[in-house]
Amino acid sequence: MHPAFATRSGTAVPIWFVTDATWPALRHALDAPARSFADASGFEPKPAQCLLLPGAGGISGVLFGLEPAGKPPGDPFLAGRLPALLPAGTYRFGNSPPDSRLAALAFALGSYRFARYRKAEAKEIRLELPEGVDGAELSRIVEAVALARDLVNTPANDLGPAELEAAARALGARHGAAVRTIVGEALLAENLPLIHAVGRASCHAPRLIDLTWGDAAAPKVTIVGKGVTFDTGGLDIKPESAMLIMKKDMGGAASALALAHMVMDRGLKLRLRVLVPAVENAISGSAFRPLDIYPSRNGLSVEIGNTDAEGRLVLADALALADEEAPELVFDLATLTGAARVALGPDLPPFYTEDDALAAELLACAAVENDPLWRMPLWRGYEPMLESKIADIKSTGTGGFAGSITAALFLRKFVAAAKSWAHFDVYAWTPAAKPGRPEGGECQAARALYALLASRYDH
């Protein structure tokens, strides 16, 4: 079980969730000293208001405010604020929040600290799992999210393509998966020219990481994760403000590996494949250039519109490779466009698919898991924006409009045989801390996708 969780001991401090409607009865149920302390402290049951009630041996209980009754439901991750508010100790839910499972998950996710380079405060806070909540299931989810956050938070001087490969190999070894890599000039020999073109300018050799797990006869599910370990923008170099957090440009790969951990740890009845094109988009004499033309794995010639739109290029080769097996499902996760952030902000990733049933199922899973997603249209009317006069397709759209949609339309050209495909344009970063989501690297879409896969293949 994850260290954030504890087995029942009978000594855990209760946390009482309070709304304006439940506060009078709960206040009356407190013993006289606790009630007097709450009154003297001026406690009001406002969202995330926290009060530690004193007792003979220390803390007798914790009051924690939720959204007022009669208003739309608040953030189901609000309990994720608690680890920052509580002293070290073991706690339990004294009453039930609206969703005990999500509250317990948020508590554990809110305990996350990235401590590779600086010691985190030594404060051990643990939660006794609520009745009926599956500790093994929550633990694998928390482990997966922590894996993704750790990878995204690690700076590029310690996480290049080779280190991302090492992380995939460690995960594969843990679960008995096979991992193969194609590195450097071998990418050309094995017909992955776009991955090579993007990564060749770096002193860190580009590669394709290929992880497979499960029964070869089981339904095939392939996850493709964008693994650009740092993105300067290439010759179309980014300004300083845009380059600052580009260590997170491998956030799609991090989320793909997190999803893989959840799938393999649960033992879902599928054949999993994870493809991560891992490159650094650097600048040197061998960097690819605007208006260069390269072949792609599926035979389409691609004219480069902008070297800062490199993610779709490496994904194109990986998707074409994935498609050759005609899998039942192909998902790609990528920190792909600023346009998606302009449209929906950092917390709500758009996704694209032509499978209406899959989209409905994804949205339902996203709502249940509090892993937000929003469907955007693969609007064919914008395909002319990708036309090139001298190649089969241009990598970026003309006119500056609909950047996230045209990127998805570009990727669609490389998926033909798969039964269903969905593209997720994630941000993989929390700019300001939120309940259960510390500032920094974030795992997006993976929990919703895991819920969907579990509902289909856990039998």
CB-based burial, 255-264: b 16+ in 10 Å, e otherwise? bbbbbbbbbb
Given a contact cutoff of 8 angstroms between Cβ atoms, the answer to whether 188 and 196 are in contact is yes
In this structure, the number of other CB atoms found within 10 A of the CB of residue 39 comes to: 11
Strand, helix or coil at 269? coil
- Which tokens is 448 given? 């919703």
For 427, phi then psi, to 5°, come to: -100, -35
Strand, helix or coil at 331? strand
In this structure, the number of other CB atoms found within 10 A of the CB of residue 415 comes to: 22
Q: Which of 312, 341, 437, 447 is catalytic?
A: 312
Beta bridge partners of residue 425, listed in sequence order = 334
Q: Which of 27, 238, 266, 269 is catalytic?
A: 238
- DSSP string covering 56-84: TTEEEEEEEE-PPTTSPP--TTGGGGHHH
Specify whether 200 is catalytic: no
Strand, helix or coil at 129? coil
Question: Angle, nearest 10°, between helix axes 135-153 and 446-457?
Answer: 140
Q: How far apart are the first and last CA of the chain?
A: 23
Whole-angstrom distance, CA of residue 186 vs CA of residue 206: 10
In this structure, the number of other CB atoms found within 10 A of the CB of residue 11 comes to: 10
Whole-angstrom distance, CA of residue 49 vs CA of residue 53: 13
DSSP 238: P
- Which tokens is 208 given? 């394709």
- Which tokens is 301 given? 């010639």
H or E element that contains 212: strand 207-213
For 201, phi then psi, to 5°, come to: -75, -15
DSSP 434: B
Whole-angstrom distance, CA of residue 312 vs CA of residue 408: 9
Specify whether 123 is catalytic: no
Q: Cite the active site residues.
A: 238, 312
